[in-house]
Structure 1
């Protein structure tokens, strides 16, 4: 897990020159771009760049998000950067969530070869994906009280987003609402990502969902989509930035809750498999749901169904990421397509009850 996955095929020097030219067209001839770099410990989808943008004599630390180049074997079939830009603005203004302050959206692919947006960069600590935070580091080594503060404040982000007063027009830009529309979109994504080589385990999981469909799915809200602690930045174990909104959707609030719970379980299972204890008392389903209920008055339901769905969704993404690693010669192609799913054993246990 320590090896960095390749997420870009673009040259940094060329990007800096092109971004400088673009910024001068936006804010004036005195603008410059410096300290351009890529993050190394989180993110597997959109290309992320760190930079300092200077205009009017004032340097501003920024982050740019770019849709990946086609030759980079992108994780998702499409990257709606305009919606990502808008959902961060809405989350900040209407839900009071510390989403990054957005600066510019550029829909024209000409300046950098792809659409992109720029936002201000926040300061804080992010639980890493590589190596996962469950293996050690500041969060794993924090006191139980500090871990609980971080967990409860992370659930608080979901509570604030889900109860925010978004209107129908604002929600309409994030696709069809409801659990059925969400699952259908995930199957279409699976067919795009893996249609040339079906993955039987994931197809069994889709069949399991149909056989265990909730009788009354919960009310639809704006969901963050990629709701996990690795997409939060913290100071004093409280969120100061909410990152990565590319999976935002309108659906039952259990989509976010189960994703937050399962993504910790994913890292925890990997850690235990290496013989380390990890963080077994962190992000337990009962604790997360209790905190959410206390904050919102809403009782999460059908969480067993949503846990399987979260595991399936993550399986589609991880299998796509593994295919990208195979494409770039970073690992061999397995004989069994189910082995493309890193948490195969977890899904098999869930399907077996």
Structure 2
């Protein structure tokens, strides 16, 4: 998820010197760091730095992901950078997923003031969140066959990841697996995220989940977590990088499928509300599930349940983001706490069936 986020006010030259000193300790005294910068829009999950590392005659374009400081009012209660680093490496090396090459994980907060990891930087086009890709731009304006090629390739990433078998030891960094454990963690996240005001709409959605629990959630697999096209880089409508693994989990395949479908619906609903056409034929549930079935042989099940769950999960995140904006004086406190959820109307529609 993306937002212009207050994650750091540290001087870039000071950071460059700190990263240089750290890198020399890793690869040798000839190491140097240049071209250090921040992206124009940092993600909500961590602070990002771009830089070029040079050592031993080699030159590597890098991205560092840093856990956010507490004063930035983080969107999530914890940031397990080691788990992100290990899962990204596994997805690339074992499943053949084009995740960026994981270079180093640094658990010691002393070099930069917080733990961080470094990966190789990839190049490509990303469907933007701000303004949403459904409003216009390279993907919205593309030919229907190119949009479908991109959609099918994104679904193919999920199928390839889910079809890869990992050992329990490899996935142990993610904690307990299964749908119940996943929902329990979301409930704990909600209790942390809602602050001083409970959000009745989200609590109704939790009750709905319990009343419509799947009879058989199906086999658990490694799920990407934040499985959406805004976390993919493309070249010629083909994915070249799979980004942002902080929400990775062990659970049913439908967690990823429903998230990919719902996140497009979220942007499409915003677009329609502004009386723009958007992309109504893109990421339709029947098309996504049909392609997934074709690629994996697995029939997605209980998708009404998982779409509600995706809407709820996204609702908790959106409520936390809105509270951040209130904290920084960017918007007033709403009279109705349900208005903290940007897609309130969508969840209300799902609750009505």
Normalised TM-score (structure 2): 0.97
Counterpart secondary structure, 1:270? helix
Residue 270 (structure 1) aligns with? 270
1:283 Cα offset (Å): 0.4
User: 5 Å matches for 1:154-169?
Assistant: 154-169=154-169
Contact 1:42-1:128 at 8 Å conserved across structures:
no
CA 1:58–1:244 in structure 2 vs 1: closer, same or farther (change >3 Å)? same
Contact persistence 1:9–1:69 (CA under 8 A): no
2:298 is matched with which residue? 298
The alignment partner of 2:48 has SS state of: strand
Q: Distance in 1 between matches of 2:112 and 2:55?
A: 19
SS at match of 2:247: coil
Query: Secondary structure of 1:170's partner?
Result: coil
What's the C-alpha RMSD, in Å, of the aligned pairs?
A: 1.4
Pairing 1:35-50 to 2, within 5 Å after superposition = 35-41=35-41, 43-50=43-50
Q: CA deviation at 1:21?
A: 1.1
Tell me what 2:103 maps to: 103
The farther-off stretch of 206-215 and 330-339 is 330-339
Distance 1:199 1:19 in 2: 42
User: Counterpart of 1:63 in 2: which secondary structure?
Assistant: strand
Contact 2:3 / 2:43 at 8 angstroms: preserved in 1?
A: no
Q: CA deviation at 1:324?
A: 1.1
Q: Work out whether residues 178 and 220 of structure 2, in 8 Å CA contact, stay in contact via their aligned partners in 1.
A: yes
Give the whole-Å Cα distance in 2 for the aligned partners of 1:153 and 1:251.
22
**Counterpart in the other structure of 2:185:** 185
State the shift of 1:3 in Å. Answer: 7.9
Contact 2:5–2:42 (CA under 8 A) maintained in structure 1? no
Distance in 1, Cα, partners of 2:246 & 2:337: 27
Report Cα offsets for 1:92-134 as digits up to 9, x if no partner. Answer: 1111100100111000000001000000001111111111111
Aligned residues: 352
Alpha carbons of 1:74 and 1:9: their partners in 2 closer, same or farther (altered >3 Å)? Answer: farther
- The answer to whether residue 204 in structure 2 is matched with residue 204 in structure 1 is yes
User: After alignment, is 7-16 or 218-227 more displaced?
Assistant: 7-16
1:329 Cα deviation from its structure 2 partner: 1.6
Give SS of 2:110's match: coil
TM-score of the two chains, using structure 1 as the length reference? 0.97
Paired position in structure 2 for 1:324: 324
Q: Secondary structure at the match of 1:65?
A: strand
CA offset at residue 29 of structure 1? 2.1
CA shift, 1:42, in A, is: 6.2
Q: Which residue of structure 1 lines up, in the alignment, with residue 139 of structure 2? A: 139
Indicate how the Cα distance of structure 1 residues 120 and 132 shifts in structure 2: closer, same or farther if over 3 A, else same.
Answer: same
Q: Map Cα deviations across residues 253-303 of structure 1 (whole Å, 9 max, x no partner).
A: 000000000000111111111111111110000000000000000000000
Instruction: Spell out, residue by residue over 1:204-239, the C-alpha distance to the aligned partner (whole angstroms, 9 max, x if none).
Output: 110110111111112100000000000000011011
Give the deviation of 1:41 after TM superposition.
4.5
- SS of the residue corresponding to residue 311 of structure 2 reads helix
2-structure distance, mates of 1:227, 1:155: 9
Unaligned runs of 5+ in 1: none
Unaligned runs of 5+ in 2: none
